[in-house]
Structure 1
Amino acid sequence: MGDLKEFDQLDRRIIEMLCTSSQGSYRQLAKQLGVHPTTLIQRVKALEDKGVINGYRAKVDYVAMGYDYTGLVQVFSDNIEKVEKEIRDIPEVVAVYDVTGEADAIVVVTCLGRDEFSAVVKRINSLEGVNKTNTSVVLNIVKSSNEFVPPLMNTPNNG
């Protein structure tokens, strides 16, 4: 499944519902969707088999846990693949993105505070192959990736 046209309305509604909240039984979700629970189970299984749904996770509010210091680290490197592999193993690293533009990668780091964040940035800077970093501190989270729901509902399908 790599083409949005492969999704019918029910697939789209299932994905949207699971992105919004995966709590509840299949029976409850099926009732909300207006389908039989067996139909829902089969559809979800098919989406899992095709790799569209690859797990179910809690949406954790890290700020509520005290992880309220987030920064973006642009990484410049002459060996970015090696550097990215090392960066992804740092526990405070939330995401590593290979990007276009001046930087070779953007790293999202979330920490308990400024001192911890500073230590992580210094650790990244000390990695062999890192030529330079440019760091930005997040002042306010307007929308997080935890809130992303793919805009599938108005996409035409094959049928």
Structure 2
Amino acid sequence: MVTNSLGSFNQLQDVYPKIDLKNKKLISHLLKNSRQSFSGMGKNIALSKESVLYRFNQLKQKNILLKTYAQVDYVAFGYDMFHILLLLDEKDKIMKQSLFSSIKNHPQVIQLIEYSGNWDIEIIVIAKNLPDFDLLCEELLESHETIILKKEREAVIASIINNSFPEFKVIKKKGSLKKSSSIVKKYDSIDKKILALLNGDARTSTYSIAPHVGLSADAVGIRIKKMVASSIILNYTSHLNFSAFGYQGYVFTFRTGSLSKEEERQIFYYCQNKSEVLSVKRLLGTWDIKMLVVVQNPTQLHKLILSFKKDLNVVIKSYQTWILFKEHYFNSFPKILLKE
């Protein structure tokens, strides 16, 4: 249910497999809906079901497609998303390894990213509220304070995830804007077991899930449909190795004087039409907006930032770009969700 050691971004990658247009189209479909049938995808890219299956398996074997998974709404379980940014003293390698191990093993961690530049690492977590987040930070960081030179914390107020591939136009999906809400949707322990299995592989059949939860395949199918209808399951997508394509990941984060709800909506709408933008988050913290973007070179990044500054109807008072060095850990369904 966990991770691939390569991650979505890895600057140490030096092998770039050949990826033709058909495979890129297949990847684009797997990012938008990784649970759709192979025959359905085949019709859209002029391939037989067998050819799609072969290409799918090749993408996995070559570590281009790291996994397919169900994207869930954490708010449905009473959780919100938070970020922890750390600048580390690199001299104590053993303590750094210990910190990384603690992060990866913590049940509330979604992602661990290493940067080149302003920050060394970012930890993305879920917590029920600010006191819970404060306790989480203490659990993670207290025993490693000797190597932490600087830290910042951020709360995610709203977010969108494009699930896009930079070479293709964004296919708009209704309801992709996610905002924090106090509404907790109905689910039970069986639903969570199903979600955990779909987190490991979104293509897991209802027949394969059934014996793990003690239900018939039909009953599993009904539960999955209900979770989709209630937006507990937001989407079926894929964890992709963008570095295999020669793409570089950057965080573009900026601060405004003040940001109205209408300006926030316009930013989110604008970014939904940018295939280079993988995600956008409205934050409570030092920065107002944080974007994850993918480009092939610094020139593309420069042009993209210029377009943001020109097209967005907000005053960007200050901004930073951070280079993603490596994604060390990713688990879209944190272990804490199974424990409760």
What residue is the counterpart of 1:140 in the other structure?
157
SS of structure 1 residue aligned to 2:131: helix
Distance 1:104 1:27 in 2: 44
Q: TM-score, normalised by structure 2?
A: 0.40
In the alignment, which of 27, 41, 61 is matched to residue 29 of structure 1?
41
Q: Say whether 1:93 aligns with 2:109.
A: yes
Give, in angstroms, the shift of residue 141 of structure 1. 3.3
Partner SS state of residue 149, structure 1: coil
- TM-score computed with the length of structure 1 as normaliser: 0.80
| Cα pair 1:125 1:132 within 8 Å, conserved | no
- Could you tell me whether the CA contact under 8 Å between 1:72 and 1:136 is conserved in 2? yes
Deviation at 1:138, TM superposition (A): 2.3
Question: Is 1:150 aligned with 2:170?
Answer: no
Residues paired across the two proteins, number: 152
Q: Which amino acid aligns with 1:122?
A: E
C-alpha distance in 2 between matches for 1:118 and 1:111: 9
Structure with bigger strand share is 2
Q: How does 1:97-136 map to 2 (within 5 A)?
A: 97-128=113-144, 129-136=146-153
> 1:69 touches 1:138 (CA, 8 Å); kept in 2?
yes
Query: Please, which of 67, 89, 94 is the counterpart of residue 79 of structure 2?
Result: 67
Contact 1:92 1:109 in 2 (8 A): yes
Q: Deviations over 1:1-57 (max 9, x none)?
A: 9437x2111000000000110122211221222221111111111111211122221
1:59-99 deviations in Å (ceiling 9; x for gaps): 11112322124233325344323211122211111111222
Contact 1:9 1:153 in 2 (8 A): no
Distance 1:132 1:120 in 2: 19
Moved over 6 A (4+): none
Give the secondary structure class of the aligned counterpart of 1:35: coil
RMSD, matched Cα: 2.5
Distance in structure 2 (CA, Å) of the matches to 1:11 and 1:2: 17
1:3 aligns with 2:21: no
Q: Tell me, yes or no, if the aligned pair for 1:71 and 1:108 is still in contact at 8 Å.
A: yes
- For residues 110 and 140 of structure 1, the distance between their equivalents in structure 2, rounded to whole angstroms, comes to 12
Structure 2 stretches of 5 or more lacking a match? 1-13, 170-244, 246-340
Residue 112 of structure 1: CA displacement?
A: 1.3
